[in-house]
Amino acid sequence: MGTTIETNEPETLEELTDDGILILTLNRPAQMNALSHGLQQGILAAVKRAKHDNDVKVIVVTGAGRGFCAGADVSDGGPAGNAAKQPGRAQIAEKRGPTDIVTALANSDVPLIGAINGPAVGAGFGLSLCLDVRIASDKARMGSIFIKRGLGPDWGVSYWLPKIVGIPRAYEILYSGELLDAKSAQEEGLVSRVVPHDQLMEEALNYARMIANGPPIAYTYTRRALMHSIHNNLDEHMVFEWTQQLELLQTEDAKEGFKAFLEKREPKFDGH
């Protein structure tokens, strides 16, 4: 692995491994990684870095300490207290809340892997749902809890949750504010696998390494195709999908993939 470096916002840590895995650690362990402004800016910075740094092949997001993310930072009264400082429309216009981050994660050019090391609740639950693949520690817990604070869902929860568990179950989860343990989260499809806590990062990095060793452009296009499939009708999507495929067929990675298949060896992709 490379050397751990602190971003401009010390509440997040970035570590880029030699094989292209950017490990983004939410680094407010005393606050269970509650989403302060600095922590949010650190998430944005990592996603933006991946768009411009070809050495970044995949991002793994995890939390320092006992929690993945405990949700919004309520040390100054929380979102409700902050919102009261602005009149209604000005609040909407000037404070976009998590909109920019949720959108940036959706538009990431590299795969996003969550290593859910502990509770991911409220806004932290939303953050986890913005990631492509979630691998959970057996100590993880996940849930919305917004209703217990007199709020509706945010951080993309009402967008992503029904796409993962279906609308009827999403109603139940959001109406009750229930917290799911790791096993239950897996049964719901909220995480793809549950592993012993002390094996979490090893499992997450092994999965990320598989991606990092693959064809970077094809991963970017695959991610874009899946995101566009949410909104496109079938005709639109077939055009989008095949247009991407035509572009990929011109890459050196595609040529290498076919050549390796014929030569019965593992391909060596370089992102060209």
How much is the pLDDT for 42?
95
**Mean pLDDT of all residues in 11-31:** 96
Q: Is the predicted pLDDT of residue 10 greater than 70, yes or no?
A: yes
| The pLDDT of residue 87 is above 50 | yes
- Do the Cβ atoms of 44 and 9 come closer than 8 Å? no
Of the pLDDT bands very low, low, confident and very high (cuts 50, 70, 90), residue 84 is very low
Given a cut of 50, whether residue 261 has pLDDT beyond it is yes
With 0-12 / 13-18 / 19 or more C-beta atoms within 10 angstroms meaning exposed / middle / buried, residue 38 is middle
Tokens of 27: 């680094």
CB-CB contact of 177 with 144 (8 Å) = yes
Instruction: Give CA–CA dist 53/184, Å, rounded.
Output: 37
Q: Is the pLDDT of residue 263 over 80?
A: yes
Question: Any residues with CB less than 8 A from the CB of 76 and at least 6 apart, and which?
Answer: 82
86: confidence class by pLDDT, cuts 50, 70, 90: low
Q: Is-contact 58 49, C-beta < 8 A? A: no
> Does the pLDDT at position 211 exceed 90?
yes
> What's the average model confidence in pLDDT over 235-252?
94
3-state helix/strand/coil string of the chain: CCCCEECCCCCEEEEECCCCEEEEEECCHHHCCCECHHHHHHHHHHHHHHHHCCCCCEEEEEECCCCCECCECCCCCHHHHHHCCCCHHHHHHHCCCCHHHHHHHHCCCCCEEEEECCEEECHHHHHHHCCCEEEEECCCEEECCHHHHCCCCCCCHHHHHHHHHCHHHHHHHHHHCCEEEHHHHHHHCCCCEEECHHHHHHHHHHHHHHHHCCCHHHHHHHHHHHHHHCCCCHHHHHHHHHHHHHHHCCCHHHHHHHHHHHCCCCCCCCCC
| CATH number for the domain formed by residue range(s) 5-212 | 3.90.226.10
266 residue type, one letter? E
Q: Which residue has the higher pLDDT, 81 or 192?
A: 192
Give the residue-averaged pLDDT of 151-166. Answer: 94
Q: Which amino acid is at 83?
A: A
The predicted pLDDT at position 75 comes to 67
Query: In a 10 Å sphere around its CB, with 0-12 CB exposed, 13-18 middle and 19+ buried, how is residue 79 labelled?
Result: buried
Domain boundaries, the chain: 5-212, 216-262
pTM of this structure: 0.88
Burial of 248 (0-12, 13-18, 19+ CB in 10 A): middle
- 216-262 matches 5-212 in CATH topology: no
Q: Just give the CATH number of 216-262.
A: 1.10.12
